């Protein structure tokens, strides 16, 4: 599932696997393996790719519908 999301973000920002890999300091084939779900990226890598592609990752409380992101969590620690 995360592989499809990574590919979606990458194609939306019109970047190649090599371009994304260069920005997160990973090989093109590693990005390919993430997208095909041969290997799983760390959450930190997912966040880096999302940010590079102009996406924000957030969590939503199902009951209250309140949203928070990792920056919000870091401020509360």
Domain range summary for the chain, segments of one domain joined by +: 2-76
What confidence score (pLDDT) does residue 40 get? 97
The pLDDT of residue 75 is 57
Low-confidence ranges of the chain (pLDDT < 70): 73-77
Q: pTM for the whole thing?
A: 0.83
Tell me the backbone φ, ψ of residue 2, rounded to 5 degrees. Answer: -65, -30
Greatest Cα pair distance in the chain: 41
Mean pLDDT of the chain: 92
Long-range pairs, 17-22, Cβ under 8 A, ≥24: 20/49, 20/52, 20/53
Residue 69: its pLDDT value, please?
Answer: 82
Please tell me the CATH code under which domain 2-76 is placed: 1.10.260.40
């Amino acid at each position: 599932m995360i592989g499809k999301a990574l590919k979606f973000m990458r194609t939306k920002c019109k970047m190649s696997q090599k371009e994304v890999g260069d920005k997160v300091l990973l090989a093109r084939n590693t990005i390919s393996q993430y997208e095909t779900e041969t290997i799983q990226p760390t959450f930190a890598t997912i966040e880096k790719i999302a940010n590079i592609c102009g996406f924000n990752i957030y969590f939503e409380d199902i009951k209250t519908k309140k949203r928070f992101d990792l920056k919000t969590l870091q401020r509360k620690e």
